[in-house]
Structure 1
Amino acid sequence: MQSRRDTLRQTAALATLLASAGIAPWARANSPRHAFETKSVSEAVKALGGLNLTPHAAVTLQAPDIADNGAAVQMTIACKLPGVRRLLLLVEKNPAALVASFTVSEAMEPSLTLRTKMGETSDVYAVALMADGRALFSKSDVRVVQGGCG
């Protein structure tokens, strides 16, 4: 009969083996670091597995028309469709287009409010990556009076 200590040791060894082979789901790179290094909206969406960007009324973006201070611009992104896999916020003219990426589960309502930095006046995109690979978006032009990225 195995002791509890032996069982824990073997489980840890198996988890380490699976992680080093990239098989364990918790070992996969869930953080889309390479996507945060892209320069354009379409590159970022493709880096996260999205197909062509398609405008859709079910994706909403609430952003101010004019942001007095680009260091903290509040925005709300949401999608009313089932099957949302990831919500993205992208600012076209920021040094890196992808500002935020959130993994969404069926257990939560795909609606998030956040503050972000904007360096200059730009189009802002809310993108919903769907389970079938579609990339649905809504966009808004936000005029920045004082930039916050530099």
Structure 2
Amino acid sequence: MDAIRRHLLQSAARGGLAVALLGAGLLRPTRVLAADWNQPAFAATTLGDALKAYGTSPVPDSREVQIIAADVAENGGNVPVEVLVKLPAVQSIALFVEKNPFPLAASIELAPGVLPYLKVPLKLAESTRVKAVVKAGGKTYVATREIGVTIGGCGG
């Protein structure tokens, strides 16, 4: 019993020391995973500006990218949206919502060999088009879907 107590006290002391060092700024993480995010694309207030900041030029819709969502959502505060991709070497998937205050709703970067699939709950201000932008093999692929909303979720 004393060994368990001693181990718990040592662990608590080490944890407290680590928290104190982090708080004082003396201990810094060696790698920040979320440091390289596209702030201009997320801050854009129009779909055109968001797509431009994301580095996407207008391309026609592709059959290799599919958006799965309800045709009409009863509550815009929680609209589940899935993106299925039938392409190899997918590097990123992004979702844009045309009529939201900030159109870029989600963006993920994928490691090589990862299954290209995204499912997120979106918050939609009103009936709008949702656009999935997929970057794979040096090319851009797009899918668009109209989603109707009966009760807005972004302040409506």
The interval holding the TM-score normalised by the smaller chain is 0.7 to 0.9
Q: Tell me the TM-score normalized by structure 1.
A: 0.75
Consecutive unaligned residues of structure 1, counting only runs of 5 or more, are 1-24
Call closer, same or farther: CA 1:66–1:49 in 2, change over 3 Å: same
Q: What is the aligned partner in structure 1 of residue 3 from structure 2?
A: none
Identity in percent: 31
Q: 1:80 aligns with which of 65, 83, 86?
A: 86
Task: Give the match's secondary structure for 1:36.
Answer: helix
CA contact under 8 A between 2:88 and 2:137: conserved in structure 1?
no
What is aligned with 1:45?
51
Q: Distance in 2 between matches of 1:27 and 1:66?
A: 36
Q: Tell me which stretches of 4 or more aligned residues in structure 1 moved more than 3 Å.
A: 25-29
Contact 1:50–1:129, Cα closer than 8 Å, also in 2: no
Residues 84 and 51 of structure 1, relative CA distance in 2, 3 Å threshold: farther
**Match of residue 138 from structure 1:** 143
How far the C-alpha of 1:41 sits from its partner, in A, is 3.0
Listed as ranges, the gaps of 5+ residues in structure 2 are 1-30
Distance 1:102 1:135 in 2: 14
Amino acid at match of 1:118: L
The Cα of 1:30 is off from its aligned counterpart by 1.6
8 Å Cα contact 1:54/1:135 also seen in 2: no
Report the structure, 1 or 2, having the larger strand content: 1
In structure 2, the partner of 1:30 is 36
- 2:125 corresponds in structure 1 to 119
Letter in 1 for 2:110: V
For 1:65 and 1:33, the matched residues in 2 are separated by: 30
Q: Deviation at 1:143? A: 0.5
| Cα-Cα RMSD | 2.0
Instruction: Provide Cα deviations, 1:34-69, integer angstroms capped at 9, x if missing partner.
Output: 101113333323212233333110011001100000
How far 1:119 moved relative to its partner?
0.4
Q: In structure 2, the residue corresponding to 1:88 is in which secondary structure?
A: strand
Q: Which residue of 2 aligns with 1:147?
A: 152
Q: Structure 2 length as normaliser, TM-score?
A: 0.72
